[in-house]
Amino acid sequence: MSKRISTPKIPQITTAILGLLSKPLILKILHIVRDLGPISVDAIARHLRPRPPLSTVSTQLGELRKHRLVKASKDGLRRLYAIDRKGFRRVTAIFRDLARSGK
């Protein structure tokens, strides 16, 4: 008879963040923001190939802001995006928890 293992309840925020980070466009945007930020939506779009519509980049940045992976600051009428280091500490904690040994 095999031993039954109970699976832990995974917080919804964990699945949302991991799902977000599984998207190639999101990862490309994060690399651009990390390397060039603070940076505007149109500047991010210019670095992407193929170049997506600004609305697509803006939507993805909104998702990243919602999960606190990027932060925005105002520069006149536009927003500039930068990596939110506090949010990435949470991502690090998620992976640390997943890598933790059960024994």
Q: What is the mean pLDDT of residues 42-66?
A: 96
Which amino acid, one-letter code, is at 11? Answer: P
3-state secondary structure of 4: coil
Q: What is the mean pLDDT of residues 30-36?
A: 98
Beta bridge partners of 57: none
Q: Is the pLDDT of residue 8 over 80?
A: no
The distance from CA 20 to its chain's CA centroid, rounded to whole angstroms, is 6
Q: Is the pLDDT of residue 1 over 60?
A: no
Residue 5 pLDDT class (50, 70, 90 cuts): low
Cα separation, 53 vs 75, in Å, equals 21
